[in-house]
Structure 1
Amino acid sequence: MLNLFVKTENQKKWLQKLREKEDTFKNKSAEIDELAIFPKENIQDLVRMGYSSITLPAADGGEGLKVYDMVLFQETLASYDGTTALSIGWNLGVIGELFEKRLWNEENLNSFAKEILNGALVNRAVSEAQTGSPTRGGRPGTTAVKKDGGWVLTGRKTFTTMSPVLTYFLTSAWIEEKQKVGFFLLHKDLEGLTIEETWDVIAMRGTGSHDLVLNNVIVEDSKLVELPEMPSGGKINGWILHIPACYLGIAQAARDYAVHFANHHAPNSLNEPISQLPNVQQLVGEIDLELIRARHLIYSVAEAYDDETRRGFLENELGVVKHTVTNSAITIVDKAMRIVGAKSLQRTNPLQRYYRDVRAGLHNPPMDDMTIKKLALSAIEQDKSKFSKKE
């Protein structure tokens, strides 16, 4: 089904590169999940092939791939191993947004581009235990205090995905003297910066989303790279589509497993595989209905975002994609497990891992309730606007 969305030779090239790692990544997935091991070797393989810098613009020395490309590759990668895909996806998304919107001054961007091309990995460190998701607008408890021409940062960040291999942490902090939230680029080797291994969950167990602990970390003034006007949101950011793309890929893997099982499982009560049973065919059809619907939505929105003449018309679509695709992924895995039956609950069966992993998507931003509320408010305001114009 994915072939329908492959449009360029460059996409075919990168898909082939990823497919060369398919067996390697798939073979490690169970162990990564069972032992909660961060897939360091997988990430290193991706860095070596240049995948970690594909969203860096061509003008800055990168591949210059767009959101649509990223979605295509991330979905594919997630069908091999969801942990690896979600981890590297944050790096791709941060780089894509930084350079598309030129969020830093040119000197910092130029310097950082060279680091990325040399294999540096980055993620934002924004969530905190007391504030929850930063998209809800909570002020970070992490503080940055001016001292001797530099900054001293103190605080703790949660959900710092890919922390075992990150080179840089793009960290939010409250700056009292500016009464604003700023983002500081912190190198992993800074004194006072440590990772506390707190990640112990039942889904996406290998993402290494540990706590980042900052104990009087001193950085020079130039490392204050962002002072956004709206730290909890602002201009739309299509690069967050790496999130639903990941869960779509996991759903595809679940679908493929269930269909293969149905075609080869023939209990002695039947003279044929269970794929010939009407109730099984009903479930398979419903799964593909969900997949096709979700896939067309995410790729159409990604394509619209990449088209600068259409991007401005996107209002709520990014949130709708995340909501729709994530919930579709949960439905798909559930139906796949119904096809396979009790065997799907065996710890050796990948479906139980897919089932746990797709549920993690509910807790990635934007949250479902925020997407629904935003849709409602948009509808209400549009109606008010029409009414006021008539007056």
Structure 2
Amino acid sequence: MSSDPWGRVDETGTVYVRTADGEKVVGSWQAGSPDEALAYFERKYEGLVVEIGLLEKRVQTTDLSAKDAQIAIDHLREQVEAHHAVGDLDALRARLDKLVGSVDARREERKVQRAKQSDEARHSKEALVVEAEELAQSDQWRAAGERLRALVDTWKGLPRLDRKSDDELWHRFSHARSAFSKRRKAHFAQLDAQREDARKTKERLVSEAEALSGSSDWGPTAARYRDLMAEWKAAGRAQREHEDDLWNRFRGAQDVFFAARGSVFAERDAEQSENLKLKEELAEEAEKLLPITDLKAARAAFRSINERWEAIGHVPRDARPRVEGRMHAVDRALQDAEENEWRRTNPEARARAEGLTGQLQAAVDKLRAQIEQARTAGNSSKAEKLERELEGRQALLDQALKGLQEFGG
């Protein structure tokens, strides 16, 4: 018979293992010596030790699920309980029990972790839903659309919640996206309609602009082009594929008209510049008539100058007031001279002037005599009053005498 601390072989070849509950039959060994039998079943024990060690390491260092770990523990426990090995089986049971505790702790830890992840995922999805619902009201179509697509990608990367919660949040999220898409589609449909209206309006404006391009009615046509441009701006933009072509046609028609007008105006400006030079020479010739010494000769000379002036034609608008003002000044001087001559040679006016002068002179003489009498009588108050009256009459007399001198008298 052979034995070791954890097992023995009796004389019949039966192998036993010692446990806390007493000896347990391991098996029967008839092929060799008892020592060989013990060595064989001790190797069985070492194999269990290795497997348990590996499982402990997997539980500690890998993401082995609690379910798979428990299956592995149960499998090893069945082998230990089968007593087909010689060694400290109670120690193996204790290690397996401890491993069960580790797996349970890890299961609870993962449960807490999953609950935390689920809570975080819920908050994240709720935040995505709120943002999506806000974006659903946005008019920033490109930016909001891109952001909603990014939110979908973020959603897909989050863990699922319980079915009811996940479905409710997804329904809100999906509804927000659909609402935004519906609003965007309606907006662009309306925009397309507006652009089509703009295209039709601009087609009409282009047709009119092209019809006007050959006009030589410069003023009204230029004014109409300004009105067409205002209508063009008010019409809004047409579709991109039409807008540039319509604008090029519209602008091209205007360019044809304004180029023709510019050419005509350039010729006219050159002609008017030459006219201005001629009229400035006539104005200078007219100004040499001043001061007027011979009214009849001056009037005849001015009439000749004016006839040549009228025959010349238009001058540039900005120069017209200046050059015409010079001629008007000479004309006014002639008119003033004619009026003075008429007054000087008018017998009736001379008689009236002489009569008025005589009346004023008599009144002045009378006042002087009255003043002298008042002073002689010692009435200084009356004398002062009469002197003030004399000052007024004397001023009128001086003015009348000056007018009478204009008649040469």
TM-score, structure 1 as length reference: 0.17
Structure with higher helix content: 2
TM-score, structure 2 as length reference: 0.16
Structure with higher strand content: 1
Instruction: Say which one has the larger Rg.
Output: 2
